[in-house]
Each structure stands twice: as structure tokens, then as C-alpha cells.
Amino acid sequence: PRTILQWNVGSYRDISHESLSLFRLLEPQIEILVLGTGDRVERLHPAVLKQMRECGIAVEVQDTPNACATFNFLTSEKRVAAAGLIPP
């Protein structure tokens, strides 16, 4: 629950089914993945989001500062969440 892992993604363009596989392997399985896409909210390919939903993981895409706040809120509520953050 309190683990930090390096996610080898440099920009929102690098977010793919393969790059998100890290989050599908976490134990316990996460309920929600908060993605911070940098300075602004970027649109991800719908198929990538669909694949995560099919694995039972909701995805919230936000700019990174708001993604950090959302992640902190979710964890304070004892939700099983993870964050994938790209620096702004």
C-alpha cells in the first residue's frame, strides 16, 4: 500500500496497455488509478482506458497537481488507489 515504483513514462503519449501493466500487477489489486498527465489534462486512447476497466480498475485522468490531490484524498478514505504521475 505504501510503495513507490519507477514508472518509465516520459509523456502522456507513452501511456499504453503495456506501460499500464505495472498497475494491473499490484497486490492488493487497486480499485482506481489516478493518472497525472503533466501541466494539463491530456486525452488518452479510449481502448487503453477500456482495457483497464475490463480488469476492474477505474482510471481518472487529471493534470498532475490535481492528480496528487485526488490520490491523497482517495488514500485518506482508505481506498486502494495508485497514481501514475508525469511531472508538470
Sign of CA dihedral 21, 32, 62, 2: negative
Question: 9-45 pLDDT, tens per residue?
Answer: 999 999 999 999 999 999 999 999 999 999 999 999 9
Q: What does the pLDDT look like over 57-76, one tens digit per residue? A: 999 999 999 999 999 999 99
pLDDT at 46: 96
Asked if the structure places residue 66 within a domain, the reply is yes
Query: Is the predicted pLDDT of residue 1 greater than 70, yes or no?
Result: no
Long-range Cβ pairs for the range 48-56 (8 Å, 24+): 48/15, 48/16, 48/17, 48/20, 51/17, 51/20, 52/20, 52/23, 52/24, 55/24, 56/29, 56/31
Residue 75: give its domain's CATH number.
Answer: 3.40.1230.10
3-state secondary structure of 81: strand
What pTM did the predictor assign? 0.93
> For residue 30, what are the domain limits?
12-85
